[in-house]
Amino acid sequence: MNLTSLEMCAGAGGQARGLELAGFDHSGVVEIDKDCCETLRLNRKDWNIHEEDLRSFTGTMYKGIDLLAGGLPCPPFSIAGKQLGENDERNLFPAAIRLVDETRPKGIMIENVRGFLGAVFEDYRGFIRGELKKLGYEAHWRLFNASDYGVPQLRPRVVIVALRDDIKDHFSWPTPSPSDAPTVGATLLDLMKTNGWRGAKAWAERANDVGPTLVGGSKKHGGPDLGPTRARAAWATLGVNGKSIADDAPERDFVGMPRLTVRMTARIQGFDDSWRFHGKKTAAYRQIGNAFPPPVARAVALKLREAIETRASYPVSSLVG
């Protein structure tokens, strides 16, 4: 029997898809971006999608869900930004904590950037842990590299997990895959060959490592490219032109470094090929570049499900005293 979840700041559905693969049914999904909401509707017409600001969203109708999850905005904590943290207008941790109080889930799962673990935010991390403790949850966080879970990309991300006091002792973090993640070349060879490109095999042999982190940017900053100068240079070592996104795979006699298509970047991010993205390539790529890789979300969610179900299987008498 599947468990229930409410997804905050769902974006294009990376974390939501990972939770779904782990056996969570989304009772509700909250997202403010119109393109992202259209992407979610394209893929899951039956999801109850709330297209609104998390700060004005009320979660009382979802009280008693199994899991409250989401990827809160990264700019307040990103080393690429000003790292204003709690003073950044985009900081949604207060809204998330309010929703914890309103929904009283069994567990909480929040994704954010590596910068969240910086020394500058030590006090704020303590504040978050303290607020959740007041509500009856014990919080922990861990840094994950997506490539440790089969994603052909580094993508370091912090996952915050908080569990109700009666469940916390049943949770353990997932362990990395014993096998190396597939290389960019192995991952994309069939897509690069779509139009019969003669150089596809040789290119794949050169692209013999996982990719650097995809950078989606925002509507204010970033465009249809694979990130800032350093990121594009890293992609160039794998034989990829990161200055823009291509409309299609290379033609038969193409010479040079190919660009990635939207579908290729989605596969690099860990989306299955059936997942569609709304909008033109810039909007679609931005959604992909900002997503949480579904395989990583699935790995953590499976352990959360295991903890919740283990607690539910305990007879009441064994929990007394």
Q: How far apart are CA 95 and CA 54, in angstroms?
A: 7
Give the three-class secondary structure for 264. helix
- From the list 9, 36, 37, 74, the catalytic residue is 74
Q: How far apart are CA 66 and CA 108, in angstroms?
A: 9
CB 69 within 8 A of CB 7: yes
55: its two tokens: 């700060």
CB 91 within 8 A of CB 71: no
157 Cβ neighbours under 8 A, 6+ residues apart: 111, 112, 113, 114, 143, 144, 146, 292, 296
Task: Indicate if 36 belongs to the active site.
Answer: no
Angle in degrees, CA 272, 274, 276, rounded to 5? 105
Q: How far apart are CA 288 and CA 290, in angstroms?
A: 5
Q: How far apart are CA 146 and CA 237, in angstroms?
A: 20
Give the three-class secondary structure for 218. coil
Angle in degrees, CA 216, 263, 189, rounded to 5? 115
DSSP codes joined into one string, 127-171: HHHHHHHHTTEEEEEEEEEGGGGT-SB--EEEEEEEEETTTGGG-
Supply the residues annotated as catalytic. Answer: 74
